[in-house]
């Protein structure tokens, strides 16, 4: 399929996943899924509950190792055995369950796994002040106002927690940003803010995968929408050439078609 909506898009996809499979016990969560993503592209990922969206994105973020299939980043084939491997390729993910530590404060969560330290008598000690200062600036830069970076994350509201998970991912300056239902717990104004963040990072060349059940949001920020059904991808229409009702049909309609076809 030819695309000419953005001249800046490189010919080679930044992410190219082919035939990804993953089985959990008796459940074939992914049954050979293809996904390709251009630099700066925003790809919506939709599907019924249990379609395999989270599993597929976790494969790309290294949190789940696939049983089969290949992943290429900028044309180079890679194997991710853990999230650290994916991070090295500058792939970041905001997980559906956020992955925050409730009993650690805001700055501690933002810097989890890459704490700033200063040497004291040869011992690397946490640079608490520097981390709180950087955390404050980081949040401010994204227009997120958390009153105190010393607050324990467990005491924050659902929206504030989500904002922290997103800031954390963005602060790694990723090339690929995966967001699994980042707006699930957000009020109207905060959803708007997240969509704005997505537009901004995509303008800077970051490729974004947005998993969401809020279909109307997809039409505001995405280039293409990939529809998953029972562990496979069924269609990936361009936003410009599709409609809300077609997407709904792809998510729901295919279910009956496919079920009757197999029966």
Partner 1 sequence: MPRVSATEAASLRYVKQSFWKDALTNHPGVISIAVFVLVVATTFSIITDNFLTVHNLLAVLRQAAPLCIAAAAMTFVITTGGIDLSVGSVGAVAGVLASTAMHGWGVPVLPAIMLALLVGACIGSVHGYLIAFQGIPPFIVTLTSLFIYRGVALLLTEGYSIPIPSDSILAFLGRGWVLGIPMPVLLAGATLVAAYIALNHTRFGRYVVGVGSNAEGVRRSGVSIRKVRTLVYIWSSVAAAAAGLILTARLGSGSANQGVMFELDVIAAVVLGSTSLFGGRGSIVGTILGVLAISMIVNGLILAHVSPYYTQIATGLIIILAIWFNTWLLDRPARRVG
Residue ranges binding Mg ion (CB under 5 A): 54, 96
Tell me the two tokens of residue 183.
Answer: 């707006």
Could you tell me the sign of the dihedral formed by the alpha carbons of 246, 19, 10, 63, in that order? Answer: positive
Q: Which of 217, 155, 150, 158 is nearest to 185 (CA)?
A: 158
227/209 Cα distance (integer angstroms): 12
Task: Considering the complex, state which of residue 134 and residue 213 has its C-beta at the smaller distance from Mg ion.
Answer: 213
- Smallest distance, partner 1 to C-beta of residue 104, A: 6
Which residue is listed with tokens 């293809």?
A: 34
Which H/E stretch holds residue 25? Answer: none
Partner whose binding site includes residue 140, from ligand ATP, Mg ion, partner 1, none (CB under 5 to 8 Å by kind)? none
Q: Which of 55, 262, 50 is nearest to 178 (CA)?
A: 55
Q: Which of 224, 178, 216, 228 is nearest to 198 (CA)?
A: 178
Partner whose binding site includes residue 29, from partner 1, ligand ATP, Mg ion, none (CB under 5 to 8 Å by kind)? ligand ATP
Applying CB under 6 A, does 50 fall inside the site for ligand ATP?
Answer: yes
Applying CB under 8 A, does 240 fall inside the site for partner 1?
Answer: no
Span near partner 1 by CB under 8 A; candidates 43-51, 125-133, 197-205, 222-230: 125-133
Largest distance between two CA atoms of the chain: 71
Tell me the two tokens of residue 115.
Answer: 């704490």
Partner whose binding site includes residue 108, from partner 1, ligand ATP, Mg ion, none (CB under 5 to 8 Å by kind)? partner 1
Which residues 6+ apart lie within 8 Å of 103 measured at CB? 152, 153, 154
Partner whose binding site includes residue 102, from ligand ATP, partner 1, Mg ion, none (CB under 5 to 8 Å by kind)? partner 1
Applying CB under 6 A, does 55 fall inside the site for ligand ATP?
Answer: yes
Applying CB under 8 A, does 148 fall inside the site for partner 1?
Answer: yes
Quote the DSSP letter at residue 81. S
Residues that bind ligand ATP (CB under 6 A): 24, 27, 29, 47, 49-55, 96
Residues that bind partner 1 (CB under 8 A): 61, 63, 82-84, 87, 93, 95, 98-104, 108, 112-115, 117, 123-126, 128, 144-148, 152, 155, 157, 159-160, 163, 187, 189-190
């Amino acid at each position: 399929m030819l695309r000419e909506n953005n001249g800046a898009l490189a010919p080679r996809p930044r992410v190219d996943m082919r035939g990804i499979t993953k089985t959990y016990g008796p459940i074939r969560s992914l049954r050979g899924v293809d996904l390709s993503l251009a630099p700066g592209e925003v790809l919506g990922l939709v599907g019924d509950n249990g379609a395999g969206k989270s599993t597929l994105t976790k494969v790309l973020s290294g949190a789940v190792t696939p049983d089969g299939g290949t992943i290429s980043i900028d044309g180079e084939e890679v194997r991710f055995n853990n999230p650290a491997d994916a991070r090295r390729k500058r792939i970041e993910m905001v997980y559906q369950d956020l992955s925050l530590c409730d009993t650690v404060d805001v700055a501690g969560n933002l810097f989890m796994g890459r704490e700033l330290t200063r040497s004291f008598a040869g011992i690397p000690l946490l640079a608490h002040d520097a981390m709180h200062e950087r955390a404050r600036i980081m949040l401010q830069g994204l227009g997120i106002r958390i009153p105190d970076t010393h607050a324990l994350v467990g005491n924050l509201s659902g929206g504030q927690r989500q904002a922290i998970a997103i800031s954390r991912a963005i602060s790694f300056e990723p090339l690929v940003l995966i967001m699994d239902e980042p707006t699930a717990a957000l009020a109207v104004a905060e959803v708007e803010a997240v969509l704005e963040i997505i537009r901004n990072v995509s303008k800077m060349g970051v490729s974004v995968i947005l998993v969401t059940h809020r279909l109307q949001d997809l039409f505001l920020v995405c280039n293409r929408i990939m529809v998953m059904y029972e562990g496979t991808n069924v269609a990936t229409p361009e936003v410009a050439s599709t409609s809300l009702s077609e997407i709904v049909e792809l998510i729901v309609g295919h279910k009956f078609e496919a079920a009757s076809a197999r029966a």
